[in-house]
Structure 1
């Protein structure tokens, strides 16, 4: 009844007996009433029904829709159902392996027993046959001796004994051949390496095919294939995190190498910039040194120019003072000459006023001295102003001033020469 109920559950569902108005039970694939082995592929209890390896009925739900839901869920092969299923299948394989080993041991034991059982009687019969043969030979010799002695009756009696021994020997020989024929005619057995069942060596192909298509053989073959498949899947699943970890590690190493190369590039760039800044500073220092050297050279040239201009200004002022003094002297001499001529041309009035003229002359000379001092101060002031302006003037102006100065000096010389000539002429006139 249980197997029939399970069959109906698989065909029509667990809610097959519910009325249309009754609520159906929504069972998830992770419910404890669901067979987790069936979710992983198949339930081993369904493989060996009505066989020697029958595992009994499975009380849990076997639903194809739940298995599809489990395969589509995000927790597929992450809950541990596959590992439990693999351990259960491996336990079944371990049991069948023990059965196969026991079958091989039974075959080996039976073969040993057969070989030992056949060899024992045969060996004993051979020994009996050999003893009988020896006895027969001895009796034949005795019969010959009795015949040579003429004891015919004794020889005949012993001859009958020899015949009996020969019959017994033939019987033993026939028994040994019968045992050997029986041992040769016995069927050879072997153990199936998949399910552990005993097979007849050289049996008919139909019976071999029936065995290979049987539930037990196909069930254990399916279990072996599923074990290998699950091992491969789990190995890949375990390798995937390792591969992901390895890829992640390689990615981190690549990023670290990129960062290291970036740091090296930045370091080289900073070093290049520092070197460029050092070269720029060195060039700036060189320019500053050249500028300072040029400024010093210009300053020295300006100082020399100032000195030259000062000397020229001093010479000019001295020449101007000389010219002015000479002009004053000429004016004085001329006025004096005119006054002298006037005095000489005049008569007695001049001599009377001579003393008065002398006083007035002294007074005028004092005023002239004061005027001369005032003019000299003004000249000095103008000379200082000229010095300041000459410092700011250009070289071209300096050259023009030099040319003007030379021309003025030449004019002054000419005036001096003319003045000297006038003085000489006046002196000649006075002397006359």
Structure 2
């Protein structure tokens, strides 16, 4: 595969036009796509770590909502038991459908609560930050060796190289246009 790159560069240096000679323009588009995806993930990761008073307020609201749903579930369960004792099974079945929706709502709210709580605990425990080059989480508490391993790692260096190559190609094509 490497031989094709050498042949392409030799032909290009001699001024020989290749079919579909806009390889570099295609490469720019590919690099942009990869880097834009990395930037999107980085922004999402930073938003997850950025918990402010608004997030804490929504956590309180979720807790209140869970308490209200727990109360509704308890009362509905008691109502079903009472209707069953009275022998009104049709009404008990209708009320059990309502109970099922309350239980479904509560599990959805509980899932949201768990996710938010996990994010709060994670960022509080590890003091995380996001690498601006590759989007990886880094702990501010990591030792120097671990940070060096990250910054010399293949993924990090790959994204740094992609960003550098994209800038070079962009500046090259801006000069020619």
Q: Per-residue displacement from partner, 1:38-76 (whole Å, max 9, x unpaired)?
A: xxxxxxxxxxxxxxxxxxxxxxx3325324423323146
Aligned residues: 116
The CA deviation at 1:85 is 0.7
Q: Which among 67, 82, 90 is matched to residue 24 of structure 2?
A: 82
Show the counterpart of 1:102. Answer: 44
Q: How far apart are the structure 1 equivalents of 2:24 and 2:12?
A: 12
Q: How does 1:17-56 map to 2 (within 5 A)?
A: none
Q: Structure 1 CA distance, aligned partners of 2:38 and 2:128? A: 18
> Structure 1 pair 230/111, CA: closer, same or farther in 2 (3 Å)?
farther
1:224 equivalenced with 2:163 (yes/no):
yes
- CA deviation vs aligned residue, 1:257-307 (integer Å, no higher than 9, x gap): xxxxxxxxxxxxxxxxxxxxxxxxxxxxxxxxxxxxxxxxxxxxxxxxxxx
TM-score normalized by the length of structure 2: 0.55
Q: Which runs of 5+ in 1 are unaligned?
A: 1-60, 119-181, 239-432
Cα distance in 1 for partners of 2:10, 2:171 equals 23
| Unaligned 5+ runs, structure 2 | 61-120
Kept in 1, the 8 Å contact 2:126–2:140? The answer is: yes
Write out aligned runs for 1:51-200 (5 A). Answer: 61-63=1-3, 64-75=5-16, 79-109=21-51, 186-200=125-139
Distance across 2 between alignment mates of 1:104 and 1:225 = 23
Q: Distance in 2 between matches of 1:205 and 1:234?
A: 39
Backbone CA RMSD of aligned residues = 3.4
Compute the displacement of 1:213 (Å): 0.8
Q: Is the 8 A contact 2:126 2:141 kept in 1?
A: no
Q: Deviations over 1:195-218 (max 9, x none)?
A: 111110132111111111111111
**SS in structure 1 of the partner of residue 126 of structure 2:** coil
TM-score normalised to the size of structure 1?
A: 0.24
Report the secondary structure of 1:190's partner residue. strand
Aligned with 1:199: secondary structure?
strand
Runs of at least 4 residues off by over 6 Å: 114-118
Q: Matches of 2:153 and 2:51 in 1, distance apart?
A: 28
| Distance of 2:8 and 2:140 partners within structure 1 | 43
CA distance in 2, matches of 1:102, 1:232: 29
Which structure is higher in RCO with an 8 Å CA cutoff and minimum separation 6? 2
Secondary structure class of the residue paired with 2:171: helix
Rg larger for:
1
